[in-house]
Amino acid sequence: MFELSQTFTFDAAHTLKRHVSPEEAAGSRRIHGHTYTAEVAVKGPRLPDTGMVMDLSLLRATLAEVRSQLDHHLLDEVPGLGAPTLENLCVFIFEQVNARIAQVTVSMVCVSRAAGDRCVFRPQA
């Protein structure tokens, strides 16, 4: 079994309702933005006719489609995302990639921000 991964970045704005003190929550409730990095890993056997798990150009093209739904958007308005948390971004990206690529299994999605925040989603098999 092999695992391939690709990363992409996107810039997006959002608001976030947090259950902390009003002082801590104030910045999150205003529209603000981040630069995100997402990594998507797929796994599968090496195909004997190509020697590849999948053609990386297909994975890159799929990630470009997903990126276009997020980059320079207000995440609060992205259909199907829900609250724009790192966790929901991971699940959203997983669902979008998984719906587009059938020949491999999406094994991991990681979304991080430059501040050091990071979330990893490993869907159950």
* Structure confidence by residue, pLDDT tens digits, 77-123: 999 999 999 999 999 999 999 999 988 999 999 999 988 999 999 99
pLDDT digit string, tens, across residues 13-28: 999 876 656 656 555 6
- Alpha-helix residue ranges (DSSP H) falling in 1-125: 22-29, 56-70, 86-100
Mode of pairing for the β-strands spanning 32-44 and 105-113: antiparallel
**H or E element, residue 4:** strand 2-14
Number of domains forming the structure of the chain: 1
Q: Render pLDDT for 22-77 as a digit per residue (tens, 0 to 9).
A: 656 555 667 889 999 999 999 999 999 999 999 999 999 999 999 999 999 999 99
Instruction: Dig out the tokens for 122 from the structure.
Output: 């490993």
- Dist CA 88 CA 24 (whole Å): 21
- Domain range for residue 114? 2-121
Integer CA distances (angstroms), 53 to 46, 103, 105, 108, 122, in order: 5, 9, 10, 15, 19
Q: What's the predicted TM-score (pTM) here?
A: 0.90
CATH number for 53 = 3.30.479.10
